[in-house]
Amino acid sequence: MSTNLENRKFVIGGMAIAIVVVYLMRLFALQILSDDYKRNADSNAFLKKIQYPSRGLITDRHGKLLVYNEPAYNLMVTMDEQHGIDTLDFCRTLGITRDFYIARMMDIKDSKKHPGYSRHTPQLFLPQIPAREFSQIEEKLFKFRGFSVERRSIRRYVYGVGAHILGDVGEVSQQNIDDDPYYQSGDYIGKIGVESSYERDLRGEKGMNILLRDVHGRIKGRYQNGRFDRRPQPGRNLQLSIDIDLQALGERIMEGKIGAIVAIEPKTGEILCMVSSPSYDPRLMIGRNRGINQKRLQLNPRKPLLNRAISGQYPPGSTFKPTQALTFLQEGIITPGTQFACHHGLTIGRFHQACHGHASPLSLVPAIATSCNAYFSWGFYYMMSNRRKYRNIEDAFTRWKDYIVSMGYGYKLGVDMPGERRGMIPNAAYYDKHYRKHWNGVTIISDAIGQGEVNATPLQIANLAATIANRGYYITPHIVSRVEHSHIDSTYHEKHFTMVEHRWYNYVVQGMRQAVLGGTCRAANLPGIEVCGKTGTAQNRGHDHSAFIGFAPMNDPKIAIAVYVENGGFGADFGVPIGAVMMEQYLNGKLSAHGERVAEEFQHRHISYGTGER
């Protein structure tokens, strides 16, 4: 019995010692190893007041100011200090309802929405009050205990165009805070466009003022006379490559239509305009009504928030035919003098593909000029069927796909904006699965004329025009040409060469020039400017899509362009005249009287979507 008691003493004593050791270790960790207590003590003694930097300015390629900052104010509330105010007077002063006041207070206290909520620190009550409105509030603010002001700035957009390019700035999400310690609740971040993709350059670096507080939390002055204060560093300014006048013209012409216009400077890859229609005024996305306006735009069935220039995926139609000509020439499937017959189309067995009327037979250059479906379909069929050169259909198609990918299709180009899609260039495995390995050149012959499973973004289609203009290479398209005190990514200086030799491009250029002089692009013939062009009519349920690619001048290209109008009909109906007006504006700096008439006409030529009627 005594032995058992002795054992119990040792067990209980050991447990007591273990508990004491654990407590001592925890106290050591908290007080010595961890700075939690120090930070809590500091937070009681110091108030670290963030000084927000001014966001970088944005200009166009000619230095015209597009986006700037204007003083604004956040109204903050500290719950622990907020009491005894006349809420009716407060609501009248701010121009809000009492219901809004109650709902906002409840929302601020919601710890699920605001994990960092504290009754003792200022919380955002009302954001981005413009200076002109705040002046009316400021003189009465002393009456409302617990409410204070935080000086911020608000973005201002000079022009009502370029919304998809410029983007907008909104309050950070919890995900943004978790991903980057720079941000805290109430901060603003670029949401879309260059405001998002160049956020780190535009945002600058925060500053900080350290203030002393007494035991009641009252401010007693600056800590050590501001010795440890840090001034904010303003964000870097951006110069975009776009021409704002060209952008505005494109958006004006595309009113009442769904589609996109993309123009590129071939030698540099700089994007001169990027129009997505329908669009919206970027000024709708600032201030207190941002959320309301954004919801309204999201509910619009025509999806004005979608940047179709980089996110829309369309069959390129006949604008794709130059890729076929180049592939067939390089692979030796055809020569520039090879002729194929076309009797309003081609017939292979039971398969028939229609084509419009023109001379027959014809060689490569007139085939491009007249946009002959039969010519390029025959070339594709012979390539897919050539067993002396390719082991099987899979081998031939893979070789074909490699050429198309080298020309910028099938994968993201890498534009410096969020939201780019890759388009679709199928591979042999796709067709093996889809047709259970029973397919041939006739099965997929629509790929040759930019139909079938082939899809591309308007940016990729414009990039093809730039590649042809350069006779065999492109530079990754980009929207920012200069970042203040920095450099743009080296990617946007590199030449990407295709798998096709320089010499073969000359025949495609000749064909595109003939298309303007007497072929399908006659409406693009501008006085004194050698324009090269190619129409595209993409088959679609209901009305076909109207497309056009072109560049000018022929031997010293300054602009390459793609126009895509959903349900616009033939390429010559909408694509060609719109493309011609855009090129004239950029090359001449203004429109001729004829060009202005064309622009006015197409501005008011709307397409009624959903009914199939124009």
CA gap 553, 435 in Å, rounded:
45
Half-sphere exposure of 274 (CA within 13 A, CB side): 38
Band of pLDDT at residue 119, cut at 50, 70 and 90 = confident
Question: What span, in angstroms and rounded, lies between the C-alpha atoms of 400 and 422?
Answer: 18
What does 497-550 look like in DSSP terms, one character per residue? Answer: E-SS-HHHHHHHHHHHHHHHHHSTTGGG--TT---EEEEEEE--SSSPEEEEEE
Percentage of the residues of the chain whose pLDDT score is greater than 70: 90
pLDDT tens for each residue of 260-293: 999 999 999 999 999 999 999 999 998 778 889 9
At 412, the amino acid letter reads: K
Predicted local distance difference test score (pLDDT) of residue 459: 98
Please provide the average confidence, as pLDDT, over all residues in the chain.
Answer: 90
Q: What is the pLDDT of residue 131?
A: 83
Over 50: is that where the pLDDT of 562 sits?
A: yes
> Mean per-residue pLDDT for 97-126?
80
CB of 267 within 8 A of CB of 275? no
Q: Which residue has the higher pLDDT, 204 or 28?
A: 204
The model's pLDDT over 10-65, given as tens digits with 9 standing for 90+, comes to: 667 667 777 777 777 766 665 565 554 444 445 556 667 788 999 999 999 999 99
Residues whose CB is less than 8 angstroms from the CB of residue 135 and which lie 6 or more positions away in sequence, other chains included: none
Mean pLDDT to the nearest integer, 494-505: 98
pLDDT of residue 252: 98
- For residue range 127-180, what is the model confidence (pLDDT) as tens digits? 888 888 888 788 888 888 889 888 888 899 999 999 999 999 988 988 999 999
**Are the beta carbons of 169 and 197 closer than 8 angstroms?**
no
**How many CA atoms lie within 13 Å of 172's alpha carbon, on the beta-carbon side?**
20
pLDDT exceeds 60 at position 255:
yes
Tell me the per-residue pLDDT of 362-405, one tens digit each, with 9 for 90 and over.
999 999 999 999 999 999 999 999 999 999 999 999 999 999 99
SS (H, E, C) 220-240: EEEHHHHCCCECCECCCCEEE
Q: pLDDT by residue (tens digit) across 434-460?
A: 999 999 999 999 999 999 999 999 999
Contacts of 43 (CB under 8 A, 6+ apart): none
pLDDT score for 613 = 39
Q: What is the pLDDT of residue 276?
A: 98
List Cα–Cα distances, 350 to 167, 325, 346, 354, in angstroms. 51, 25, 11, 13
Report the C-alpha gap between 375 and 373 in whole angstroms: 6
Check pLDDT > 50 for residue 464: yes
**How far is the C-alpha of 474 from the C-alpha of 269, rounded, in Å?**
7
Quick one: pLDDT band at residue 215, thresholds 50, 70, 90? low
285 closest CA partner among 125, 423, 459, 156? 156
Q: How far apart are CA 259 and CA 494, in angstroms?
A: 29
* Max avg pLDDT among 49-53, 359-363, 419-423: 419-423
Over range 555-579, report the average pLDDT: 96
pLDDT, average across residues 528-533? 97
Rounded to whole angstroms, how far apart are CA atoms 192 and 304?
Answer: 13
Residue 29: what pLDDT?
62
User: pLDDT at position 35, please?
Assistant: 53
Alpha carbons 530 and 517: distance in angstroms, whole number: 9
For residue 467, which of 338, 320, 369 has the smallest C-alpha distance? 320
